[in-house]
Amino acid sequence: MLLWPTLQTRGRKLSQLQATQMINQGKTVIVDVRDPAEFATGHLAGAVNIPLNEFPNRQSEIEKFKSKNVIAVCQQGVRSARAASQLGKAGCAEVYSLAGGATAWQSQGLPLVK
């Protein structure tokens, strides 16, 4: 019964507004799970690029995120949802997926950096 609140927090979707508010509050890590070529075309400011297929080999980096809010981002929100689940299993307590990914972020007029 006590496990249910923990399971609910893993992989919740955030709107662009919610993500912006969380980022502005601090203690948030943005993990862009796209491949390096996609990441280079434009990403959220301050994002760390850890492609989804590299998660198993980059656990030491992921360990550092456990005490922070983690927002997983991909192009459209599919890979980030899978990443959020994996991050939750790795012990990150507050994990979110950016709804619609970088595409939705940019369509809302929010900046991407190269």
Q: What percent of the chain has pLDDT over 70?
A: 90
Query: How many structural domains comprise the chain?
Result: 1
pLDDT of the residue at 14: 95
Q: Which residues are designated catalytic?
A: 74
Does residue 9 sit within a domain? yes
pLDDT of the residue at 11: 59
Beta strand 69-73 with 28-32: parallel, antiparallel or unpaired?
parallel
- Give pTM, 2 decimals: 0.88
Does residue 58 sit within a domain? yes
pLDDT of the residue at 93: 85
Report, as an integer, the average pLDDT of 82-99: 94
Does residue 52 sit within a domain? yes
Does residue 103 sit within a domain? yes
Express each pLDDT in 97-114 by its tens digit. Answer: 999 999 999 999 999 999
Domain that includes residue 61, residue range = 3-107
Closest CA to 89 of 76, 70, 112, 108: 70
Q: What's the CATH code of the domain at 79?
A: 3.40.250.10
Does residue 7 sit within a domain? yes
Does residue 113 sit within a domain? no
